[in-house]
Amino acid sequence: MRFNTNLLLASFLGVATAFRRGCRPDLTSQVSGTGYYTMTDKDTWDVVAADFCTTGPELQKLNPDPAPASQGIIRAPCRVRKRDCARVPGQDNGYYRAVEGDDLTLIATDFCMTVYFLQFLNPGVENSEKVTPGTIYKVSCKKKK
């Protein structure tokens, strides 16, 4: 009997939760690619930074004033991402189900990864950019430090 990785991944999706922080683009600044995010009481610099493909110290450099109290507004790297990671509680990785129009580069970029690392997490994924809709990929949801 052959082990079916996709079946295993699909079983994890039942307990996974999808959540990605978003930001409001700053349309008034001369600096493109930044925006605003409203902190919550459960947020930390490192946790928020991970969703914006940066690190806690880099995020703090964008916000040199003292750390905001809960519900404070901070400046963050801001770009549109269509894909969200289905996080598995207690795990550094999660899952993403490919849709029509996806390719490996787009998927990897949305999860702050290289195509090489995406392929490393998903043995058997070919070098081709072609993605079959419905395929479940293991992706990085790791909090950056």
CATH of the domain at 64: 3.10.350.10
Whether residue 145 is contained in a domain is answered as no
The whole domain housing 112 covers 5-19+82-140
Q: What is the pTM of this model?
A: 0.58
Residues 95 and 136 in one domain: yes
What kind and span of H or E run contains 25? strand 24-25
CA nearest to 106, candidates 118, 95, 94: 118
CA nearest to 145, candidates 2, 46, 34, 41: 46
Taking residue 68's Cβ as centre, other Cβ atoms within 10 Å add up to 13
pLDDT tens, residue order, the chain (145 aa)? 444 454 444 444 444 444 557 777 777 766 667 888 888 888 888 888 877 878 889 888 888 876 665 568 888 887 666 666 677 777 778 888 898 888 899 888 888 889 999 999 999 887 767 788 999 999 887 654 4
